[in-house]
Amino acid sequence: MAARIVYAEDEYDIRDLIAFSLRFNGFEVLEARNGQEAVELVLAYKPDLVLLDVRMWLMTGYEAYEMLKSIDETKEL
């Protein structure tokens, strides 16, 4: 079973390139366009790894990280 990664990046070209590279190397990748989408994906799918861009609209990677750390079921990710 492939490791599952939630990857958040607001710039489409960068997100597409990184997600393609990760998939090519055998990972399952769930893509988010901002921190809020990343938090929703993490809560729904419980990934093995979360990669967050720090500067995104709606919710930054820093804000998403703080939110995930404040939730009991995701604070150990």
Q: Which domains does the chain have, with CATH numbers?
A: 4-70 (3.40.50.2300)
CA end-to-end span of the chain, whole Å? Answer: 19
Q: pLDDT at position 49, please? A: 97
* Alpha-carbon dihedral angle through residues 68, 73, 75, 77, given to the nearest 10 degrees: -90
Q: pLDDT at position 77, please? A: 73
| Plot region of 53 (φ>0 → left; ψ -120 to 50 → alpha; else → beta) | beta
> What predicted TM-score, i.e. pTM, was given to this entire model?
0.93
Q: pLDDT at position 69, please? A: 96
Contact call for residues 50 and 35 (beta carbons, < 8 A): no
- Which regions in the chain score pLDDT beneath 50? none
Q: pLDDT at position 25, please? A: 98
